[in-house]
Amino acid sequence: MALSKLERQLQMIILLTQNKNYDVNALVEQLGMSWRSIYRYLEEFRNLGFVVECKHGIYRLDKSSPYFNKITELIHFTENEAMTLKKILESHSHPSPEINYLLRKLSRIYDFEVIPSQESDERFSKNYKALYSAIKEGRQVVLHNYSSAHSRTTSNRKVEPFALLAGNTEIRCFELESGMNKTFKISRIENVEVLDSVWEFRTLHRNVYTDAFHFSGTELIPIRLRLKRLACHLLREEYLVSSNEIEQESEETWIYSTHVCSYIGVGRFVMGLLNEIEIIEDAGLKNYIQKQIEIYNNK
């Protein structure tokens, strides 16, 4: 029997309020719904007053949403409380079936792999404060024993930190040895040593941005599109962050003004709706699309 719309919405609310990491692909798989339906429900939740969070493509319904406040106060455990309960239950030398059941229940609700321990919390807080201070004072630092997932090595990195990213979980730095701008995860730093030396390479600092189409880069390209109704609706449904940059021009047209890091994402969107979109700015985007069409026609 097919689920009703309300049942699907309730299932989605349950998924988005658990301490699990669900991106759109995971929601599609869990709920058996299309991408478009997922984005439509997210927009409906937002219109109803839910606080819809999206960080690194992971969606959640914030517990501060008006509908959740009273229920959350009564039955919700914080992550620290959940971790404490888990440790207490695991401390029993001869766990009973009831204890095993509670552990399984906690694990279904909370992803303990992404909940930091108290020790790592204290280290993270200490390193974050040191980096924040270094940014304000324009000082160089050494990231001691930074664990790189890419190279699978642990090493010290002398850097100039200049921007906090990803909800203050990452630090953007200019690395002196490589002469490159890099992004480091604060959780992978054992210790931050703030040096007396001040920034020497301020003019080489380059921040990193992520556009509405999920492409990242250090440069931003301004674009303006004139959208017909269908294109406007699809843009809002598929790229939720774009809504704040769309203005209605007439009864049937809207102007989308934004910055992108690459022509690839926005170009893919425009090429799928060529009859619904007019490129107002910039010439580079027009040239990119023309070249892509030529490549396709020559296949």
User: Do 193 and 242 fall within a single domain?
Assistant: no
User: Do 133 and 171 fall within a single domain?
Assistant: yes
Angle at 124 between CA 74 and CA 183, to 5 degrees: 115
Q: What is the CATH number of the domain that holds 47?
A: 1.10.10.10
The residue out of 173, 204, 235 marking a domain boundary is 204
- Characterize the bridge pairing of strands 246-248 and 253-260: antiparallel
Residue 240, SS3 per DSSP:
helix
Instruction: Establish if 268 belongs to a structural domain.
Output: yes
User: Do 20 and 84 fall within a single domain?
Assistant: no
Give 70's pLDDT tier (boundaries 50, 70, 90): very low
Is the pLDDT reported for residue 123 higher than 80? Answer: yes
Q: What is the extent of the structural domain holding 263?
A: 212-297
Task: Convert 268-285 to b/e letters by CB count within 10 Å (16 or more is b).
Answer: ebbeeeeebbebeeeeeb
Q: Which two tokens stand for residue 156?
A: 């010290």
Residue-wise pLDDT tens digits, 162-221: 988 766 788 999 999 999 999 898 989 999 999 999 999 999 998 877 788 888 787 889
Question: In degrees rounded to 5, what are phi and psi of residue 90?
Answer: -75, -15
User: Do 124 and 161 fall within a single domain?
Assistant: yes
Cis upstream peptide for 282 (omega within 30°)? yes
User: Do 197 and 163 fall within a single domain?
Assistant: yes
- Nearest alpha carbon to residue 195 among 147, 137, 154, 155: 137
Q: What is the CATH number of the domain that holds 244?
A: 3.30.70
The residue out of 204, 235, 267 marking a domain boundary is 204
User: Do 103 and 127 fall within a single domain?
Assistant: no
Instruction: Establish if 23 belongs to a structural domain.
Output: yes
The rounded distance, in Å, linking the Cα atoms of 44 and 40 is 6
pLDDT averaged over the chain?
82
User: Do 105 and 124 fall within a single domain?
Assistant: no
Instruction: Establish if 220 belongs to a structural domain.
Output: yes
The residue out of 204, 221, 248 marking a domain boundary is 204
User: Do 190 and 233 fall within a single domain?
Assistant: no
pTM, entire model: 0.46
Angle at 239 between CA 235 and CA 245, to 5 degrees: 70
What pLDDT shows up at residue 146?
94
Residue-wise pLDDT tens digits, 234-293: 998 888 778 878 999 999 999 999 999 899 999 999 999 999 999 999 899 999 999 999
Instruction: Establish if 114 belongs to a structural domain.
Output: no
- Nearest alpha carbon to residue 162 among 198, 119, 126: 198
Instruction: Establish if 184 belongs to a structural domain.
Output: yes
Give 43's pLDDT tier (boundaries 50, 70, 90): confident
The rounded distance, in Å, linking the Cα atoms of 238 and 270 is 13
Number of domains in the chain: 4
N-terminal to C-terminal alpha carbon distance within the chain: 45
